[in-house]
């Protein structure tokens, strides 16, 4: 352990430098004070880092939740975020204890990528306004339509304080991050571009004494803590808040476990225990709810920086939380000099990267439906809200599964014996194929003995079996007969046993 300590210390410093601007920027994007994001980052390191089932994963405020939190704060107020987060964390803790972690990963990649893309677009649309020292609008469409007005106020260069200085700082931050990502020296690859961009633009803004909005961080971090009030818990009886807690728990868990799986692919060390990780996230989010901070997830940007910096144990994640706490306590005045526009630039750059066109093209290997699901999920999130977009994505995924499961080949062939035909069914005979099966049965001549072998079916449901028997009853007067093979399935009295037959097993 002593031999590994220098490596863990270096990795923790790298993660701290990445986390510092992101914690504050995500808090601002969520409509919360920057100190709230720092508190979440500290808890994510000191508490969740110690309990985590994915030792190299780093937890903290996530850009993927910023849109949801912003909407919750706008609708219900900042005070209600604590009870919602407490309930969401409890759900995560229980899910981990009941070993449900694997089920949170049963999410179609098209929905996940589409969700992240939609969130990325929303972050860009809202943070562009903040980048010009203007207030964001409550929806993606409003932010898009309101951008010309924001830009019009910022463009008169002769009017100091109208926003163009802030816009220049935000664009400068983006330019430095973009340039550093492509041209950074190998020896300095661990230095985060976000830190360089924010530091450079902060120095320029101080040197030129630019009249821009700056980060407001209390000198005493305890002033940023808003303790959960027991009276607020009573408001959880509101169904809309219960739905919000469920949505928050699900999205945070899915993002955490997908990130943990990605981190496992980056190293050859200890594999993630998803149930333990989920329980740790639940404890962390419950603490954040009690303290009135932001929700947390496992975050891939900080986690990948941790792995690339050489971390091999959980010590790095824990120490990064300690550095965050020490910096906020000892150097809060430095944080107060950071332009808000520069942090907005960091989030704009992050939002752009969430729109992963490479992932979108990769979905094309599996057909058009995953690509359509990606696009539909993203666009619905942008033009309505996050929950509606995710639900639509799930609905499209289930529709695809239903259509795939309902593939059934139907054909009719003559047998050697006169008046006998065979109805051949291959695939899955479900209620979705009742119209097609009805059309074929309507074409069977009167007086036919119809044989229906079930050996080529993987599944047949009650609707199709009942349709066959209805055909026999309707045509019995004309001498038609139905022979279902195996024969034991013919009589209606054996209904329950034959409603879901796994034929050929």
What are 364-418's pLDDT values in tens digits?
Answer: 888 888 999 999 999 998 888 777 888 899 899 888 877 777 788 999 999 888 8
How far apart CA 99 and CA 277 sit, in angstroms, is: 11
The residues, ordered by sequence, that sit 6+ positions from 290 with a Cβ below 8 Å of its Cβ are 82, 86, 227, 228
What are residue 214's phi and psi, to 5 degrees? -120, 165
Q: Which helix (H) or strand (E) holds 406?
A: none
How many C-beta atoms surround the C-beta of residue 414 within 10 A? 10
For the chain, give the percent of residues with pLDDT over 90.
39
Q: Which helix (H) or strand (E) holds 412?
A: strand 408-414
Give yes or no for a contact between 132 and 156, defined as CB atoms under 8 angstroms apart.
Answer: no
Closest CA to 250 of 105, 136, 385: 105
**Structural fold of domain 408-498:** Transcription Regulator spoIIAA (3.30.750)
Express each pLDDT in 327-352 by its tens digit: 988 888 888 899 999 999 988 998 88
* Average pLDDT of the residues in 197-210: 93
What are residue 501's phi and psi, to 5 degrees? -95, 125
pLDDT of residue 158: 54
Tell how strand 481-485 and strand 449-453 pair up: parallel
pLDDT of residue 488: 45
pLDDT at residue 504 greater than cutoff 80: no
User: Where are the CATH 3.30.750.24 domain residues in the chain?
Assistant: 408-498
- Longest CA span, the chain: 99
Closest CA to 34 of 19, 42, 24: 24
Reading the block at residue 385, the tokens are: 């809200």
pLDDT of residue 496: 35
The residue among 220 and 95 whose pLDDT is bigger is 95
How far apart CA 16 and CA 93 sit, in angstroms, is: 26
How far apart CA 351 and CA 38 sit, in angstroms, is: 20
Closest CA to 146 of 164, 163, 169, 126: 126
* Average pLDDT of the residues in 53-68: 90
Q: Of the segments 76-90, 110-124, 246-260, 392-406, which one has the largest average pLDDT value? A: 76-90
pLDDT of residue 115: 83
Residue appearing with tokens 């795939």 = 404
How far apart CA 193 and CA 178 sit, in angstroms, is: 8
Q: Which helix (H) or strand (E) holds 460?
A: strand 457-460
Reading the block at residue 271, the tokens are: 């594999």
Rg (Cα) of the chain, in Å, rounded? Answer: 29
pLDDT of residue 371: 92
pLDDT of residue 500: 36
pLDDT of residue 3: 58
Express each pLDDT in 442-495 by its tens digit: 999 989 999 999 888 888 888 888 899 899 899 988 889 999 887 544 443 333
How far apart CA 280 and CA 93 sit, in angstroms, is: 7
How far apart CA 343 and CA 340 sit, in angstroms, is: 5
Q: Which of 29-38, 161-170, 302-311, 485-494 has the lowest mean pLDDT?
A: 485-494
> Exposed, middle or buried, 20 (CB in 10 Å: 0-12/13-18/19+)?
buried
Residue appearing with tokens 């639940």 = 282
Tally of CA atoms within 13 A in the half-sphere of 41 that contains its CB: 34
How far apart CA 294 and CA 88 sit, in angstroms, is: 12
Q: Which helix (H) or strand (E) holds 97?
A: helix 81-97
pLDDT of residue 501: 37
pLDDT at residue 227 greater than cutoff 60: yes
How many C-beta atoms surround the C-beta of residue 231 within 10 A? 9
Helical axes 462-475 vs 434-442, angle rounded to 10°: 20
Closest CA to 274 of 286, 258, 297: 258
pLDDT at residue 35 greater than cutoff 50: yes
* Average pLDDT of the residues in 169-178: 94
Express each pLDDT in 262-320 by its tens digit: 788 788 888 899 999 999 999 999 999 999 999 999 988 889 888 877 888 999 999 99
Give yes or no for a contact between 470 and 427, defined as CB atoms under 8 angstroms apart.
Answer: no
pLDDT of residue 358: 86
Bond prior to 486 in cis (omega within 30° of 0): yes
Compute CA distances 131 → 61, 167, 402, 413, whole Å.
20, 5, 45, 71
């Amino acid at each position: 352990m002593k031999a590994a300590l220098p490596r863990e210390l270096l990795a923790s410093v790298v993660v701290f430098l990445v986390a510092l601007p992101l914690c504050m920027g995500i808090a601002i994007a969520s409509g919360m004070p920057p100190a709230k994001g720092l508190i979440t980052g500290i808890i994510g390191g000191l508490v969740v880092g110690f309990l985590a089932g994915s030792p190299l994963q780093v937890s903290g405020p996530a850009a993927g939740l910023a849109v949801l939190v912003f909407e919750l704060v706008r609708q219900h107020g900042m005070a209600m975020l604590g009870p919602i987060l407490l309930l969401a964390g409890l759900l995560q803790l229980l899910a981990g204890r009941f070993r449900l972690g694997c089920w949170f990963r049963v999410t179609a990649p098209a929905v996940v990528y589409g969700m992240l893309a939609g969130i990325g677009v929303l972050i860009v649309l809202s943070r562009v306004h903040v980048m010009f020292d203007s207030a964001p609008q409550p929806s993606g469409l409003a932010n898009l339509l309101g951008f010309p007005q924001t830009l019009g106020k910022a463009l008169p260069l002769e009017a100091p304080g109208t926003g163009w200085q802030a816009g220049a700082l935000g664009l400068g931050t983006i330019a430095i991050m973009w340039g550093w990502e492509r041209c950074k020296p190998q020896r300095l690859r661990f230095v985060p571009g976000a830190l360089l961009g924010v530091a450079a633009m902060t120095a320029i803004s101080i040197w030129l004494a630019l009249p821009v909005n700056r980060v407001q961080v209390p000198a005493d971090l305890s002033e940023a803590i808003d303790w959960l009030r027991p009276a607020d818990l009573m408001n959880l009886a509101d169904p809309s808040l219960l739905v919000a807690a469920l949505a928050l728990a699900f999205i945070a868990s899915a993002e955490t476990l997908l990130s943990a799986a990605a981190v496992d692919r980056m190293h050859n060390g200890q594999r993630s225990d998803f149930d333990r990780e989920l329980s740790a996230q639940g404890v962390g989010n419950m603490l954040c709810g009690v303290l009135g901070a932001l929700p947390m997830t496992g975050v891939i940007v900080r986690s990948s920086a941790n792995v690339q910096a050489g971390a091999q144990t959980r010590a790095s994640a824990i120490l990064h939380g300690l550095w965050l706490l020490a910096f906020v306590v000892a150097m809060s005045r430095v944080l107060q000099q950071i332009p808000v526009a520069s942090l907005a630039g960091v989030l704009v750059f992050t939002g752009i990267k969430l729109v992963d066109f490479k992932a979108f093209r990769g979905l094309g290997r599996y057909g058009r439906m995953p690509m359509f699901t990606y696009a539909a999920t993203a666009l619905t999130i942008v033009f309505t809200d996050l929950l509606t977009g995710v639900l639509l994505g799930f609905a499209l995924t289930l529709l695809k599964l239903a259509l795939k499961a309902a593939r059934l080949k139907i054909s009719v062939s003559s047998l050697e014996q006169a008046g006998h035909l065979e109805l051949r069914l291959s695939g899955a005979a479900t209620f979705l194929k009742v119209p097609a099966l009805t059309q074929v049965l309507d074409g069977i001549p009167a007086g036919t003995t119809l044989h229906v072998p079930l050996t080529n079916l993987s599944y047949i449901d009650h609707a199709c079996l009942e349709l066959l028997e209805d055909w026999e009853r309707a045509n019995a007067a004309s001498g038609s007969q139905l022979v279902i093979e195996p024969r034991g399935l013919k009589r209606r009295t054996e209904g329950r046993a034959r409603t879901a037959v796994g034929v050929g097993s």
